[in-house]
C-alpha cells in the first residue's frame, strides 16, 4: 500500500539493490533511498551488460547482424529477430511468401508463451513461491524441444531470414505443437490458475499495489502488458497489423485496474490467446515456398524506415537508416523494457521495499534487452 512519506532527508539511507540480486533477473542495480522500509527515491542504474549492439550493426552487413537480435532479449528472441528482419524487408521492399509468414507467426507465438511461462515462474519465485517455477519450466521445456527441432537452438533462436525463414517446418513439429496446445490448455486452469492465481498470498501481494495509470504509461512510452494492465487496449498485432495477424481471430486481454495483479492477469490471458493464434495458424497453414528470392548481398536504397512489432514485453521498434551500402548506416533498437523500467522510479516512490520488488517483477524486465 502506498503511504505518504513524512520524514526529513537526513533520516534516509541509501540501499543498493543489485547488481547481483535474484529479484532483478540480471545485472541491474537500483539505487534506493530508503526511509525505514519505505522507498523515498528509486534510481535504476543500467549498463552492466551493455554490448553496443547498435555499433555492431554498423560494422557488419545486414545478414551479419542477425545473430545479435536474439541476444538482446533472450526470452522472446524470435520477436526481436522478426522486428529486425521486417525492418530490413521494409527498407529493401522484399515480399515474404505467405507460408513463411504463417510459420513466423506460429513460432513467434510459441516463443511468446515460453517467455510468459518463464516470467510466471520467476515472478512467483520473487514472491516466495518455489513450486510453480518447476511446473512452468516443465511446459516451457516442451516449447524449447519443439523450437529446437526446427531452429536448431534452444534459446537464442535465429530462425528468420530476409524474405522468409531458415527452413520449412515438418509434420512432426505440427503434430507436436497441436499436442502441446492440448496439454497447456488442460493445465492452465487446473494447475496455474488454481495453484497460483487463486492463492491468497499472491492476491495479497499483488492486488492494489504498484498502480500505473494510463497517463504515466503515455508519458513514459510504456507498452505491452504494462500498458494493457492499465486498461489501454493497445497491441501492435491488432492496431498496426503486420504479418498474417489480420487474418487470425484473437483478443487483446486488457485489465483496467493498473495494479500488479492486472499485469499478471494480462500475461496469463495472453498465453491463452497465443494458443488460439497458433491453432488457427496451423489450420490455415498454406503450401508453398518459405523463402523469397533475395540477393545474397542486400543493398537497400538510401532512406530510413521504422518498424515495430509486438514482443512479449511490448513494442520492439527498429529505426533503420540506410545509405545505399551493404551495411546498415544506423540501426536504432527501441527496446520495450527500457521504457517500461523508466517509470519504475516514479511509481516505486512511497512503496514498501518488498512491494517495490513485486512491482519490479510485474514489469517483466530482461536486462540484456534494456542494456543492449
Q: How far apart, in whole angstroms, are the C-alpha atoms of residue 162 and residue 298?
A: 9
Min separation Cβ 150 and another protein, Å:
7
Start-to-end CA distance of the chain, whole Å, equals 34
Q: How far apart, in whole angstroms, are the C-alpha atoms of residue 132 and residue 4?
A: 34
221: contact with another protein by CB under 8 A: yes
Alpha helices in the chain (DSSP H): 53-59, 77-92, 98-126, 131-151, 171-187, 200-206, 214-220, 225-228, 236-239, 260-284, 336-342, 344-348, 353-362, 367-371
- Contact partners, residue 119, CB within 8 Å, separation at least 6: 75, 267, 312, 364
- In the complex with another protein, the residue whose CB is nearer, 1 or 283, is 1
Min separation Cβ 371 and another protein, Å:
6
By CB under 8 A, how many residues form the interface with another protein? 78
Binding test (CB under 8 A) with another protein, winner from 12, 24, 68, 107: 68
C-alpha cell at 214: 494510463
Binding test (CB under 8 A) with another protein, winner from 47, 128, 256, 325: 47
306: contact with another protein by CB under 8 A: yes
Binding test (CB under 8 A) with another protein, winner from 67, 189, 286, 295: 67
CB neighbours of residue 61 within 10 Å: 16
21: contact with another protein by CB under 8 A: no
Using the rule CB under 8 A, give the single segment among 119-127, 198-206, 268-276, 358-366 that binds another protein: 198-206
Footprint of another protein on residues 228-247 (CB under 8 A)? 232-234, 239-240
- In the complex with another protein, the residue whose CB is nearer, 7 or 302, is 302
Angle at 262 between CA 187 and CA 216, to 5 degrees: 150
Q: How far apart, in whole angstroms, are the C-alpha atoms of residue 149 and residue 316?
A: 26
Contact 360, 23 (CB under 8 A): yes
- In the complex with another protein, the residue whose CB is nearer, 254 or 279, is 254
Binding test (CB under 8 A) with another protein, winner from 35, 208, 304, 349: 304
19: contact with another protein by CB under 8 A: no
Binding test (CB under 8 A) with another protein, winner from 16, 50, 284, 295: 50
DSSP characters over 166-208: SS---HHHHHHHHHHHHHHHHHIIIIIIIIIIT-HHHHHHHTT
Min separation Cβ 115 and another protein, Å:
21
219: contact with another protein by CB under 8 A: yes
C-alpha cell at 365: 524486465
Min separation Cβ 66 and another protein, Å:
7
C-alpha cell at 331: 540501426
Site string for another protein, 132-171 (x = CB under 8 A): ---x--x--x------xxxxxx--x-x-------xx----
- In the complex with another protein, the residue whose CB is nearer, 244 or 308, is 308
- Measured over all CA atoms, what is the biggest interatomic distance in the chain, rounded to whole angstroms? 70
Site string for another protein, 164-183 (x = CB under 8 A): --xx----------------
- In the complex with another protein, the residue whose CB is nearer, 279 or 367, is 367
371: contact with another protein by CB under 8 A: yes
Q: How far apart, in whole angstroms, are the C-alpha atoms of residue 200 and residue 312?
A: 27
Amino acid at each position: 500500500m502506498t503511504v505518504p512519506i513524512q520524514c526529513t532527508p537526513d533520516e534516509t539511507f541509501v540501499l543498493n539493490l543489485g547488481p547481483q540480486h535474484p529479484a532483478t533477473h540480471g545485472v541491474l542495480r537500483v539505487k534506493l533511498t530508503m526511509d525505514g522500509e519505505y522507498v523515498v527515491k528509486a534510481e535504476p542504474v543500467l549498463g552492466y551488460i551493455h554490448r553496443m549492439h547498435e555499433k555492431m550493426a554498423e560494422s557488419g552487413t545486414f545478414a551479419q547482424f542477425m545473430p545479435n537480435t536474439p541476444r538482446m532479449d533472450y526470452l522472446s528472441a524470435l520477436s526481436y529477430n522478426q522486428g529486425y528482419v521486417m525492418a530490413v524487408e521494409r527498407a529493401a521492399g522484399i515480399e515474404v511468401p505467405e507460408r513463411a509468414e504463417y510459420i513466423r507467426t506460429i513460432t513467434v507465438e510459441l516463443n511468446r508463451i515460453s517467455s510468459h511461462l518463464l516470467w510466471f515462474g520467476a515472478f512467483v519465485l520473487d514472491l516466495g513461491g518455489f513450486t510453480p517455477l518447476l511446473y512452468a519450466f516443465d511446459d516451457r521445456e516442451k516449447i524449447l524441444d519443439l523450437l529446437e527441432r526446427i531452429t536448431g537452438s534452444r534459446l537464442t533462436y535465429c530462425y528468420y531470414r530476409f524474405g522468409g525463414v531458415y527452413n520449412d517446418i515438418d509434420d512432426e513439429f505440427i503434430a507436436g505443437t497441436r499436442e502441446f496446445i492440448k496439454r497447456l490448455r488442460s493445465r492452465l486452469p487446473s494447475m496455474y490458475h488454481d495453484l497460483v492465481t487463486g492463492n491468497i498470498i499472491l492476491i495479497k501481494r499483488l492486488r492494489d499495489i504498484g498502480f500505473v495509470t494510463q497517463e504515466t504509461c503515455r508519458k513514459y512510452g510504456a507498452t505491452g502488458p504494462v500498458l494493457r494492465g492499465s486498461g489501454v487496449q493497445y497491441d501492435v498485432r491488432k492496431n498496426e497489423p503486420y504479418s498474417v495477424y489480420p487474418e487470425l481471430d484473437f483478443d487483446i486481454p486488457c485489465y483496467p485496474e493498473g495494479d500488479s495483479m492486472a499485469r499478471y492477469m494480462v500475461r496469463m490471458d495472453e498465453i491463452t490467446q497465443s494458443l488460439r493464434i497458433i491453432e488457427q495458424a496451423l489450420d490455415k497453414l498454406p503450401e508453398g515456398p518459405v523463402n523469397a528470392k533475395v540477393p545474397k548481398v542486400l543493398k537497400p536504397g538510401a532512406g530510413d524506415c521504422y518498424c515495430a512489432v509486438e514482443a512479449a514485453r511490448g513494442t520492439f521498434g527498429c529505426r533503420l537508416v540506410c545509405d545505399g551500402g551493404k551495411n546498415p548506416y544506423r540501426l536504432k533498437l527501441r527496446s520495450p523494457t527500457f521504457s517500461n523500467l523508466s517509470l519504475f522510479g516514479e511509481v516505486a516512490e512511497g512503496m514498501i521495499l518488498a512491494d517495490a520488488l513485486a512491482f519490479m517483477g510485474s514489469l517483466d524486465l530482461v536486462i540484456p534487452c534494456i542494456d543492449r
